[in-house]
Structure 1
């Protein structure tokens, strides 16, 4: 693969990683997969594009709108979809999973109604954003997006490992029933988890919409790639989703480079099947002392 494709592939991997991190936040604290994350990313991306490109408003307002939509819709999903169905002891339940999948498609249709059926172009973060590095050029915008992604992972990792709130997240996710019996704020933590998941997904949509625009029909694809990144990276620590996202992006880039765009779907699902069959726990595995 040519070296000039490395940075764009890393950029794609960071997007997959952020979507996977949005899944990780809910899985870590509520033992649920928030499959609606793709819809949240689409709403965030389209809202940001509509505000900045469609109405000519400053980019920070577009990003702020994406984050606000993500947080608000994430909370709505918890209150309207999850809370009425979740078991008192927490954990996965097929009714909750199906409801979250339905929420994904509801958000997709909502984005189409609110922002239109056509793909919206993303806003350019900075003009003249090309840097000469040796014999090839690098997008400064891509470097900013990669840096923001790394900063978010560091912040989330610090939150989960170094703070009382983070310890509550992990304790409740490990054993929701025991946490409930001990009087821990299970519902409040779950609300925070869905809000943070919406924030990350909405921000991911706003950050990476500039690459090829964003269409309302992309919601399922975003969720799928984010979930595969989560599966590849594993849930042992916060860096698993990023490792999985970057790994998935490079596998897809290699497939397209050597076999053409038609191979993308086949390679993606082949990799998913291999991980599900041979290493379902992902690259990073939780170690439990005996």
Structure 2
């Protein structure tokens, strides 16, 4: 009895997508947790030095993968280094600074707009269709952000978006651009080739900024508990997140994977409560729920159509 190649392909495709979804969820949870840990460290230390050490640890973890990796063309290598300078260098630095002014859970909530921005950029570049259903989902998610931030307005804060929130939003725009651009590069090279090179690009950018800003002097002031926290941020929150997220985009589209960033507020809030005694307000919980609902509405699966795409 002969098998059905079409059904086998669909099964394998769904299996790969499910594995990518799990990888993206783990990466997002780890990223949310490292936001809370970063906020714990950065209250007493220079953000640039913290970002550099975190990236250096991540680069050291990923460097052995280069031995087994396909060597990219010089032009592609320059592109990957540039992408890494943004996602592994500039973005973590901005987030580290942001954690001085906002909470981990608020930061993770704002990062939840990344799937919507990814969809927008992908649509502008012709990679995704922007339908009425997706626009409605975008509106629902942005309302969720507004609801999540409303607690600070009620508390008498002068503005809904503080300096930390603005930095997180800027970082989110850069991350969305990375999702779209990395998806193109991941069609040429596997994740275990791109992740180490990207991390080296981030380390180079941060090292240059650290030298220019004279921030190296703060490194000897780090205590043992700070180094333990940085070890977590560099290994799991740095190397692990970058590798898993890149691999997930390699297995599925950037727009489909971006939805799993919504796991970040849950882990950030949990770790924030444990380490920082942060309060998870009803507004924050409701806002997160609206964001999850909106993004699900945007990327709601149509299995039959997607399996034939």
After TM superposition, is the score higher than 0.5? no
TM-score (norm 2): 0.34
Higher helix share: 2
- TM-score for both structures, normalised by structure 1: 0.35
